[in-house]
Chains A and B, each alone.
Chain A
């Protein structure tokens, strides 16, 4: 399975070379063999998946069109609702929460023949970049089990890297799709804000959250994006409703495109091998007819601060519904309503989540709202204006995804340092831009490195083209 792309597999399924059930069985065998070690999944959808494989096969054998992802096994981050499956968000709070409906992206995947294989591990409520804050244990990097897969969509990355599925969905609020893709040698895309419906994605920071596809190749990611994107009447912030065929333009190259590289991103603490990868990627783009120039994007630390203030503030409100009243965990230990709330909160949420909620409540409280939340919104606005100016001149912005190429599971990294590591990825979320992480180069230990290509809103086609080119030249 590991050498086949989604497109080839779909073709082989159509021609009868591969039986859908065999493909699904292969995934399940891989899960049974490896997931004790890797812990990519929180829950599985085995019986349903096999049942669905048989039904799809029957329809196919009867000459029906089963969709552009017909028979493809897909893993779903456990903060996206699939009706009838548990949705835990990596938290004790939702340990037994059975989703009462399916997210719009799930309906779209299923309409196009995809088979949901299971729900993947993640940082609790997507708050983290290690997958270590999950209540369900840590996940291991498929390239080297001593390393973290990144996060928060770590399980979705590892599931692909270990051939437990072919593509997966993650969610990206500040880099949660791109960073694990970079760490695991995969392609991960955060689409433009509004391009993919958030209906059925458990909200972390509503202004930044975006569901994104992860896969082994740019083509796999482009194909999955095509299936899940589109305006949704259930999400008032969704806004894109054009039919797009990204596959047909992937190999168009980058000739004539203008690419900017932010000077400020080449900080002291950026790993040399990553710096080298970005420079090499710039050269490849240049060699293929793009014009590459250095640009200034201003003080990047403010971006991270603004990001965390807004994200935590929204999270404090979004997560308030997990109160033990209607569903999910409820403390056994209370005498009054207030105590029930307090103890449910303390016992149900992990430390990182509690920390971010408290921070969020603080920045919204009266007397602090203006100097924190409003100021953060203003900073966000300024950053957006700055980038908009660049996008008048440039088509793409090339940058690193991470500061280091790998973090060992045994390393205890300080959380403030982890926050600052989001430096390269948060701007796309602050401004709503699409950005992709594509593998390019390796470090001296053989760990993969990802480079990021960001574009203006709804420029996925251009981003995918550039990423496709880098993918072809990776390892040259």
Chain B
């Protein structure tokens, strides 16, 4: 790629499904993964005579995102109709905000190799999602599932401020964290609750004006986004170098083939015949709502990070890793609330928890372990009820199945042996059986003690309390000195 003569200008259009309980214009559930068409009613299936009623929670969520992205929140915004025919769109129009969106003119600061940079947010608007088409090519029929139709979306439109794929990834990761911290969406690219379209153009470095852009769709992971950006930039530069021109078109990314294909050319661009939605009154965001948003604003990542390091006194590395996932912070904080040992807790999260997550390819939200059981577990470990080898086994079981650690240890006889009399007896046996080592120790070879401890542990089937073993062994050995 001969990038050095050219530079890229990238803008994003990001659709995010809001995690409201009900749909944006009716009372149907937004639950994901239900049987087809269970979550439907006359409104979200476009029955004649049905009318939309705006879900206030969706408005609040959209305004909260706007607030977090430093936007101007419009006290009055409006809905419009976007008209187009497609079977997944039950009314054959989508209710969206075209002329007056709820939020405008914001920005988000990201870290780049050249330092900090603000990415402009042109607008955030609310709209309804469409249903899903299911094709059966064998029988040559199509079915429609309207469960998703009417699920609230926000569309975040950025300015063309990105210069490369890394900046895009950095922005998206930061945005996703903000939205997860706000708890207005789970932002999963693979489940479609976050969808990113990339508008990209290239121009000669000395050129002032932006080049002709293309729009890239079907980007299902951050990696795909990065690959698609590099690929599209190269493609455009190649076209320009060969004296060609870039067509303003919509392309579809194929991540397996690692190339994109034209979906819709400029000539095919649709006329959506936007006009104000007559069935809905204006949307008001009043002072009470703004105040509520301000008051319920969560600690965002850097604030949490500082709090973890300064107040909870956990290592910087731990804090950074935990705050990378909102669900992880919830688990961490809830557990700390029950068991005031932040360092011990973060240790388990950074070590074992991360190991299992990677192994299972899970997200933190998939962790089954409850803060209550986790706290109980941490206490058990620090009280020496189980030793560290047993602890790892119990942790994994709890992590995957949320077992009660006390009960589990009890039932499986994994308790650490802290019975002094019993250990003393083993210690005496070991001393009697290992005269050479005892002699070595008494002769000043401190190393010999390690061997003796190992022998005691072995005899106690790994469950003896190592601290106690040490104490008792020393006590016995010193008796004759």
Interface residues of A (CB under 8 A from B): 79-81, 87, 89, 94, 97, 100-101, 103, 198-203, 205-207, 233-237, 313-314, 316-317, 320-323, 325-327, 337, 341, 361, 364-366, 369, 373
Contacts and interface: CB of A to CB of B under 8 A. Distances in A.
18 contacts: A81-B49, A89-B48, A94-B48, A203-B49, A236-B51, A236-B52, A236-B279, A237-B51, A314-B275, A320-B93, A323-B85, A326-B46, A326-B144, A327-B47, A364-B83, A364-B274, A365-B273, A366-B271
B251 interface: no
Contact of A317 (B90, B275, B281): B275
Contacts of A103: 49
A373 B52 CA distance: 23
Contacts of A323: 85, 87, 92
Given A100-B47, A236-B52, A364-B273, 10 more contacts: A80-B49, A87-B48, A94-B48, A201-B49, A202-B48, A203-B49, A206-B278, A236-B53, A321-B90, A365-B273
Interface string B268-300: 000101110011110000000000000000000
Interface string B68-92: 0000000000000101010100111
B454 interface: no
Given A94-B48, A103-B49, A237 B91 contact: no
Nearest to B88: A325
Contacts of A234: 51, 53
A205 B274 CA distance: 16
A101 B48 CA distance: 10
Contact of A199 (B51, B85, B273, B281): B51
A443 to B, nearest CB: 38
A326 B91 CA distance: 10
Q: Which of A94, A316, A341, A364 has the most CB of B within 10 A?
A: A364
Nearest to A342: B85
B350 interface: no
Nearest to A239: B281
A364 B274 CA distance: 7
Contact of B87 (A81, A198, A325, A327): A325
Contacts of A320: 83, 85, 91-93
Interface string B409-435: 000000000000000000000000000
Interface string B130-164: 00000000000000100000000000000000000
B305 interface: no
A317 B81 contact: yes
Nearest to A345: B85
Given A317-B81, A321-B91, A97 B48 contact: yes
Contacts of B92: 317, 320-321, 323
Contacts of A361: 273
B196 to A, nearest CB: 27
Contacts of A373: 275
B259 to A, nearest CB: 27
B274 to A, nearest CB: 8
Contacts of B275: 313-314, 317, 364, 369, 373
Contacts, number: 95
B51 A198 contact: yes
Contact of A366 (B87, B90, B93, B273): B273
Contacts of A89: 48
Contacts of B48: 81, 87, 89, 94, 97, 202-203, 321-322
Contact of A101 (B47, B83, B144, B280): B47
Contacts of A236: 51-54, 279-281
Nearest to A206: B278
Contacts of A207: 278
A233 B53 contact: yes
Contact of A237 (B45, B46, B271, B281): B281
Contacts of A101: 42, 47
Interface string B250-277: 0000000000000000000001011100
B189 interface: no
Nearest to B276: A377
B266 to A, nearest CB: 14
B272 to A, nearest CB: 8
Contacts of A326: 45-46, 90, 144
Nearest to A103: B49
Nearest to A323: B92
A235 B54 CA distance: 10
A233 B55 CA distance: 12
Nearest to A89: B48
Contacts of B274: 364, 369
A320 B49 CA distance: 13
Contacts of A321: 46, 48, 90-92
B50 interface: yes
A476 to B, nearest CB: 43
Given A198-B51, A236-B280, A373-B275, A325 B144 contact: yes
Nearest to A341: B85
Contacts of A235: 51, 53
Nearest to A362: B273
Contacts of A314: 275, 278
A323 to B, nearest CB: 6
B53 A317 contact: no
Nearest to A97: B48
A323 B50 CA distance: 16
Q: Which 3 A-B pairs have the closest CB atoms?
A: A320-B92, A364-B273, A206-B278
Nearest to A102: B49
Contacts of A237: 51, 278-281
Contacts of B50: 199-200
Most buried by B among A322, A323, A341: A323
Contact of A200 (B49, B53, B91): B49
B150 to A, nearest CB: 14
A369 B87 CA distance: 26
A235 B92 CA distance: 20
Nearest to A197: B51
A199 B280 contact: no
B279 A206 contact: yes
Interface string B84-111: 0101001111000000000000000000
A119 B155 CA distance: 43
A358 B81 CA distance: 17
Contacts of A322: 48
Contacts of A80: 49
Nearest to B85: A341
Contacts of B91: 320-321
A365 B91 CA distance: 18
